[in-house]
Structure 1
């Protein structure tokens, strides 16, 4: 799983569950920040959504699910 793959996962889930456009969700999600697995052994990636309250809440719910499935990405 790569940064690109996790972004694709976010987009697929958000489009299916919430609707909207890929472009809007890509802007809301923003960049996936990747950290060293050595210094972040439980989860080496994060996001900082930049949408409205409802959009950010949807992104955070998806992020929690994806962190459970993919805590370490490369």
Structure 2
């Protein structure tokens, strides 16, 4: 899975679970940042959520679940 694929998956799940539009969630989610595997061997990606407190909380809950399934992603 690539960072772009992961971003689309996160946005789709946020829409399905919390409602709203893809543009709103894309702004709140931000970009998926891919880290170096040498220093981040267990999970090589991260995001810096913004938006409202409720949006950030929803994103953080989702990230906990998704990291278990997709801990390693490729650039792109």
Alignment-derived partner of residue 66 in structure 1: 66
In 1, distance between residues paired with 2:63 and 2:26? 14
**Matched pairs, number:** 74
Q: TM-score, normalised by structure 2?
A: 0.94
Alignment-derived partner of residue 53 in structure 1: 53
Q: Which runs of 4+ in 1 moved over 6 A?
A: none
Deviations 1:6-61 (A, max 9, x none): 00111111000000000000000001111011210010000110111000000011
Alignment-derived partner of residue 35 in structure 2: 35
Gap regions ≥5 residues in structure 1? none
Q: TM-score, normalised by structure 1?
A: 0.96
In 1, distance between residues paired with 2:31 and 2:16? 21
Alignment-derived partner of residue 26 in structure 2: 26
Gap regions ≥5 residues in structure 2? none
